[in-house]
Chain A
Protein backbone atom coordinates (compact mmCIF):
# COMPACT_ATOMS: atom_id res chain seq x y z
CA UNK A 1 0.00 0.00 0.00
CA UNK A 2 1.67 3.13 -1.22
CA UNK A 3 -0.73 5.47 0.52
CA UNK A 4 -1.77 8.77 -0.99
CA UNK A 5 0.68 9.92 -3.65
CA UNK A 6 1.18 13.50 -4.75
CA UNK A 7 3.39 14.83 -7.47
CA UNK A 8 5.34 16.81 -7.95
CA UNK A 9 6.52 17.34 -4.39
CA UNK A 10 7.91 20.73 -5.30
CA UNK A 11 6.76 22.94 -8.14
CA UNK A 12 8.14 26.29 -9.19
CA UNK A 13 6.19 28.51 -11.54
CA UNK A 14 6.53 32.07 -12.75
CA UNK A 15 3.64 34.47 -12.45
CA UNK A 16 1.09 33.88 -15.19
CA UNK A 17 1.97 30.23 -15.77
CA UNK A 18 -0.26 27.27 -15.03
CA UNK A 19 0.29 24.83 -12.18
CA UNK A 20 -1.00 21.27 -12.25
CA UNK A 21 -0.92 19.27 -9.06
CA UNK A 22 -1.63 15.55 -9.11
CA UNK A 23 -3.01 13.27 -6.45
CA UNK A 24 -3.35 9.51 -6.63
CA UNK A 25 -5.61 8.32 -3.81
CA UNK A 26 -4.90 5.27 -1.78
CA UNK A 27 -5.99 2.05 -3.46
CA UNK A 28 -9.65 1.46 -2.76
CA UNK A 29 -10.38 5.09 -1.90
CA UNK A 30 -12.99 6.81 -4.04
CA UNK A 31 -13.11 10.20 -2.30
CA UNK A 32 -10.51 12.92 -2.73
CA UNK A 33 -10.05 16.18 -0.85
CA UNK A 34 -7.73 19.09 -1.47
CA UNK A 35 -6.47 21.41 1.27
CA UNK A 36 -4.22 24.45 1.10
CA UNK A 37 -1.70 25.60 3.70
CA UNK A 38 -0.75 29.20 3.14
CA UNK A 39 2.31 30.61 4.91
CA UNK A 40 1.43 31.76 8.44
CA UNK A 41 -2.04 30.29 8.07
CA UNK A 42 -3.60 26.99 8.91
CA UNK A 43 -4.85 24.30 6.62
CA UNK A 44 -8.04 25.14 4.80
CA UNK A 45 -10.40 22.85 2.96
CA UNK A 46 -10.69 23.59 -0.75
CA UNK A 47 -12.70 20.92 -2.51
CA UNK A 48 -14.12 17.42 -2.17
CA UNK A 49 -14.54 15.13 -5.17
CA UNK A 50 -15.78 11.68 -5.96
CA UNK A 51 -15.05 9.99 -9.25
CA UNK A 52 -16.12 12.41 -12.01
CA UNK A 53 -18.07 14.61 -9.59
CA UNK A 54 -17.32 17.71 -7.55
CA UNK A 55 -19.33 17.40 -4.36
CA UNK A 56 -18.21 20.41 -2.32
CA UNK A 57 -16.08 23.24 -3.68
CA UNK A 58 -16.93 25.76 -1.00
CA UNK A 59 -13.26 26.43 -0.23
CA UNK A 60 -12.08 26.96 -3.80
CA UNK A 61 -11.22 30.47 -4.94
CA UNK A 62 -13.81 31.56 -7.48
CA UNK A 63 -11.33 32.24 -10.26
CA UNK A 64 -8.29 30.46 -11.73
CA UNK A 65 -8.68 27.30 -9.62
CA UNK A 66 -10.30 24.08 -10.79
CA UNK A 67 -10.24 20.45 -9.74
CA UNK A 68 -11.16 17.18 -11.34
CA UNK A 69 -11.14 13.51 -10.48
CA UNK A 70 -11.67 11.58 -13.71
CA UNK A 71 -12.88 8.03 -14.00
CA UNK A 72 -9.35 6.93 -14.81
CA UNK A 73 -6.22 8.54 -13.46
CA UNK A 74 -5.31 10.87 -10.65
CA UNK A 75 -7.14 13.87 -9.30
CA UNK A 76 -5.81 17.16 -10.68
CA UNK A 77 -5.82 20.56 -9.01
CA UNK A 78 -5.21 23.16 -11.67
CA UNK A 79 -4.26 26.76 -11.02
CA UNK A 80 -4.25 29.05 -14.03
CA UNK A 81 -2.26 32.26 -14.29
CA UNK A 82 -0.58 31.77 -10.94
CA UNK A 83 0.21 34.73 -8.70
CA UNK A 84 2.66 34.99 -5.79
CA UNK A 85 -0.21 34.62 -3.34
CA UNK A 86 -0.78 31.07 -4.63
CA UNK A 87 2.54 29.99 -3.10
CA UNK A 88 1.55 27.38 -0.52
CA UNK A 89 1.58 23.72 0.33
CA UNK A 90 -1.30 21.85 -1.25
CA UNK A 91 -2.34 18.63 0.43
CA UNK A 92 -4.48 15.90 -0.99
CA UNK A 93 -6.37 13.44 1.17
CA UNK A 94 -8.43 10.39 0.29
CA UNK A 95 -10.97 8.23 2.04
CA UNK A 96 -13.07 5.20 1.20
CA UNK A 97 -16.81 5.03 0.85
CA UNK A 98 -18.23 3.57 4.04
CA UNK A 99 -19.33 3.87 7.62
CA UNK A 100 -19.49 7.54 8.65
CA UNK A 101 -18.42 6.57 12.14
CA UNK A 102 -15.09 5.31 10.85
CA UNK A 103 -12.50 7.92 10.11
CA UNK A 104 -10.18 6.55 7.48
CA UNK A 105 -8.99 9.66 5.68
CA UNK A 106 -5.31 9.70 4.82
CA UNK A 107 -3.26 12.71 3.77
CA UNK A 108 -0.58 12.80 1.13
CA UNK A 109 2.87 14.39 1.56
CA UNK A 110 1.82 17.60 -0.16
CA UNK A 111 3.02 19.66 -3.11
CA UNK A 112 4.88 22.83 -2.28
CA UNK A 113 4.15 25.44 -4.93
CA UNK A 114 6.44 28.44 -5.24
CA UNK A 115 5.48 31.25 -7.56
CA UNK A 116 8.36 33.50 -8.58
Chain B
Protein backbone atom coordinates (compact mmCIF):
# COMPACT_ATOMS: atom_id res chain seq x y z
CA UNK B 1 0.00 0.00 0.00
CA UNK B 2 0.88 3.67 -0.09
CA UNK B 3 3.40 4.89 2.48
CA UNK B 4 5.48 7.88 3.53
CA UNK B 5 9.02 7.89 4.89
CA UNK B 6 10.75 10.86 6.44
CA UNK B 7 13.85 11.54 8.46
CA UNK B 8 12.89 11.03 12.06
CA UNK B 9 15.18 13.37 13.91
CA UNK B 10 15.14 14.96 16.34
CA UNK B 11 16.66 17.82 14.44
CA UNK B 12 18.27 20.66 16.36
CA UNK B 13 19.24 23.86 14.58
CA UNK B 14 20.42 27.29 15.54
CA UNK B 15 18.21 30.25 14.72
CA UNK B 16 18.61 31.44 11.11
CA UNK B 17 20.01 28.09 9.97
CA UNK B 18 18.80 26.39 6.78
CA UNK B 19 16.31 23.58 7.24
CA UNK B 20 15.75 20.49 5.13
CA UNK B 21 13.52 17.62 6.18
CA UNK B 22 13.56 14.78 3.70
CA UNK B 23 10.39 12.98 2.70
CA UNK B 24 9.86 10.21 0.18
CA UNK B 25 6.69 8.38 -0.65
CA UNK B 26 5.45 5.19 -2.25
CA UNK B 27 2.16 5.32 -4.09
CA UNK B 28 0.55 3.46 -6.94
CA UNK B 29 -1.62 6.36 -8.06
CA UNK B 30 -1.21 10.13 -8.25
CA UNK B 31 -1.44 11.38 -4.70
CA UNK B 32 -1.53 14.87 -3.33
CA UNK B 33 1.31 15.59 -0.92
CA UNK B 34 1.28 17.62 2.25
CA UNK B 35 3.33 18.90 5.11
CA UNK B 36 1.55 19.25 8.44
CA UNK B 37 2.95 20.92 11.54
CA UNK B 38 2.10 20.15 15.15
CA UNK B 39 3.19 22.70 17.73
CA UNK B 40 3.66 21.48 21.31
CA UNK B 41 0.34 20.55 22.87
CA UNK B 42 -1.66 21.54 19.82
CA UNK B 43 -3.42 19.90 16.90
CA UNK B 44 -2.41 19.51 13.30
CA UNK B 45 -2.12 22.43 10.96
CA UNK B 46 -1.73 22.11 7.23
CA UNK B 47 1.53 23.87 6.38
CA UNK B 48 1.58 23.43 2.61
CA UNK B 49 0.44 21.11 -0.14
CA UNK B 50 1.07 20.13 -3.75
CA UNK B 51 -1.43 18.26 -5.88
CA UNK B 52 0.60 17.26 -8.94
CA UNK B 53 4.12 16.70 -10.16
CA UNK B 54 6.41 19.75 -10.18
CA UNK B 55 3.98 21.78 -8.07
CA UNK B 56 5.66 23.81 -5.37
CA UNK B 57 3.83 24.37 -2.12
CA UNK B 58 4.86 27.30 0.04
CA UNK B 59 3.75 28.96 3.25
CA UNK B 60 5.39 30.97 6.05
CA UNK B 61 8.79 30.73 4.36
CA UNK B 62 8.59 26.94 4.00
CA UNK B 63 8.69 25.31 0.57
CA UNK B 64 8.41 21.82 -0.87
CA UNK B 65 8.38 20.64 -4.48
CA UNK B 66 6.52 17.54 -5.67
CA UNK B 67 9.17 15.47 -7.44
CA UNK B 68 7.56 12.51 -9.15
CA UNK B 69 10.81 11.22 -10.66
CA UNK B 70 12.38 10.84 -7.21
CA UNK B 71 9.08 10.34 -5.34
CA UNK B 72 10.11 13.06 -2.92
CA UNK B 73 8.63 16.11 -1.22
CA UNK B 74 11.41 17.59 0.87
CA UNK B 75 10.59 20.49 3.18
CA UNK B 76 12.94 23.48 3.19
CA UNK B 77 13.21 26.84 4.90
CA UNK B 78 16.01 29.28 4.40
CA UNK B 79 16.16 30.71 7.91
CA UNK B 80 14.43 29.02 10.83
CA UNK B 81 13.15 30.78 13.91
CA UNK B 82 12.64 29.57 17.47
CA UNK B 83 8.89 29.68 16.80
CA UNK B 84 9.34 26.98 14.13
CA UNK B 85 10.07 24.41 16.83
CA UNK B 86 7.45 21.71 16.28
CA UNK B 87 6.88 18.25 14.84
CA UNK B 88 6.55 18.15 11.06
CA UNK B 89 4.61 15.41 9.28
CA UNK B 90 4.89 14.57 5.62
CA UNK B 91 1.70 13.02 4.29
CA UNK B 92 -0.17 11.93 1.20
CA UNK B 93 -3.73 11.41 0.10
CA UNK B 94 -4.93 9.89 -3.12
CA UNK B 95 -8.44 11.22 -3.42
CA UNK B 96 -8.67 10.13 -7.02
CA UNK B 97 -8.19 6.55 -5.86
CA UNK B 98 -10.48 6.52 -2.86
CA UNK B 99 -12.72 9.55 -3.57
CA UNK B 100 -12.11 10.68 0.01
CA UNK B 101 -9.16 11.97 2.04
CA UNK B 102 -7.60 8.97 3.68
CA UNK B 103 -4.38 10.68 4.71
CA UNK B 104 -1.26 8.58 5.22
CA UNK B 105 1.28 10.22 7.48
CA UNK B 106 4.99 9.79 7.89
CA UNK B 107 6.37 9.23 11.39
CA UNK B 108 7.04 12.91 12.01
CA UNK B 109 10.25 14.88 12.47
CA UNK B 110 10.80 16.83 15.65
CA UNK B 111 12.52 20.16 15.11
CA UNK B 112 14.05 22.24 17.87
CA UNK B 113 15.44 25.67 17.06
CA UNK B 114 17.73 27.20 19.65
CA UNK B 115 18.51 30.92 19.94
Contact = CB atoms under 8 A, between A and B. Distances in A.
A43 B96 CA distance: 22
A42 B3 CA distance: 12
A43 B105 contact: yes
Nearest to B33: A103
B101 interface: yes
Contact of B89 (A31, A42, A48, A56): A42
A69 interface: no
B68 interface: no
A108 B46 CA distance: 11
B102 A103 contact: no
B49 A103 contact: yes
Interface residues of B, number: 25
Interface in A25-54: 31, 33, 35, 41-45, 48
Given A42-B106, A43-B105, A108-B43, A55 B100 contact: yes
Given A42-B89, A103-B34, A109-B42, A93 B100 contact: no
Contacts of A43: 44, 89, 103, 105, 108
Interface of B: 32, 34, 36, 42-46, 49, 51, 89, 93, 95-96, 98-108
Interface of A: 31, 33, 35, 41-45, 48, 55-56, 91, 93, 95, 100-101, 103, 105-110
17 contacts: A33-B100, A33-B103, A41-B107, A42-B105, A43-B44, A44-B105, A56-B98, A56-B100, A95-B101, A101-B95, A103-B49, A103-B93, A105-B101, A105-B103, A106-B46, A107-B46, A110-B44
